[in-house]
Amino acid sequence: MRYDAEVKISLKKGMLNPEATTIEKALALLKYQVENTKTLQIIKFSIEGESEDIVRQEVDEMCQRLLCNPVIQNYEIGITPEE
Amino acid sequence: MKVAIIRFPGSNCDRDVYHTFKLAGGEADYVWWSKRDLSSFDGIIIPGGFSYGDYLRAGAIAAITPVIEGIKDAVKDEKPVLGICNGAQILAEIGLVPGVFTNNINAKFMCKWTELKVKTTRTPFTNMYSAGDIIKMPIAHGEGRYYNDEIEKLKDQDQIVLSYEGENPSGSMEAIAGVCDENGLVCAVMPHPERSSESILGSDDGLKFFKGMVNY
């Protein structure tokens, strides 16, 4: 069975996010007053697997081995059957 | 002392390091990322650049290539390993040095001369300096802000190699510019000693990094 996988990578709470700060300042230049700006990375792919659980486990392994740096990042995994 | 200078797609300080290592009296060969066996070398230098376009995180993709296994073997054999700039980011991504080098606090690519304090002389790369020496070397990085959630442990174990003196251009914790592993043989520095190894370049303060390695 094929699944769509989505990995959402964010910075851990309390980590500085200079990119988000820069975006927030740029929005202020356009007179938009916003707060708590964050940027996230989303990585999507499709993957073959026996079950949703097995696929989730494999994607979790990918996160730990390559996609995320656990020192500064958190990740969320979404798995849905391919449409 | 014959070192392997590791090349990835996007490495761009490899020739500078080669030139400087010869100047320091050592021998060097370029090694492509796909080579697994580095046993014929006495040490390793990972030069700066933008390996794999800095995609995902600086150093993240280089960190899973076959040559990394060879570097890990060299560490087990207690051979000296120096990572400069992108090489430092790669060593942090592999976990051979603690912590991470992430985007600069001002979100800018910083390319400038910096003054640095030598914090420890127990590494092969810094043993020709005196502790507390102030040296001049340039930085050129967008992701040099050092972060480590175990900073006290780092200090206790004498793993801070260099810190910025005066301005802290990347916003690093403790103004850290370079760290080493517990035994001091793996060293990751953001400033470029190879770009400050001849007085014609504006400083020759960095040459002792390589001379120290040659003498190891």
Domain that holds residue A52: 2-81
Task: Using only the alpha carbons of chain A, give its radius of gyration.
Answer: 16
What distance in Å separates the CA atoms of residue B32 and residue A77, rounded to the nearest whole number? 34
Verify whether residue B85 is a known catalytic residue: yes
The domain tally of chain A equals 1
Q: Which residues of B touch A19 (CB under 8 A)?
A: 103, 107
Distance (Å) from the C-alpha of residue A33 to the closest C-alpha of chain B?
A: 20
CB A19 to CB B149 under 8 A? no
Residue B168 in contact with partner chain A when CB distance is under 8 A: no
* Beta carbons within 8 Å of B106's beta carbon, 6+ residues apart: A18, B171
- Tens of pLDDT along B10-67? 999 999 999 999 999 999 999 999 999 999 999 999 999 999 999 999 999 999 999 9
The domain spanning residue A44 has which CATH number? 3.30.1280.10
- Tens of pLDDT along B77-121? 999 999 999 999 999 999 999 999 999 999 999 999 999 999 999
Residue of B nearest to A12 (CA): B149
Q: Mutate which of B52, B104, B147 to test chain A, going by most A C-beta atoms within 10 A?
A: B147
Class of domain B2-214: alpha beta
Q: What is the ipTM of this complex?
A: 0.87
Nearest to B120 by CA among B180, B164, B192: B180
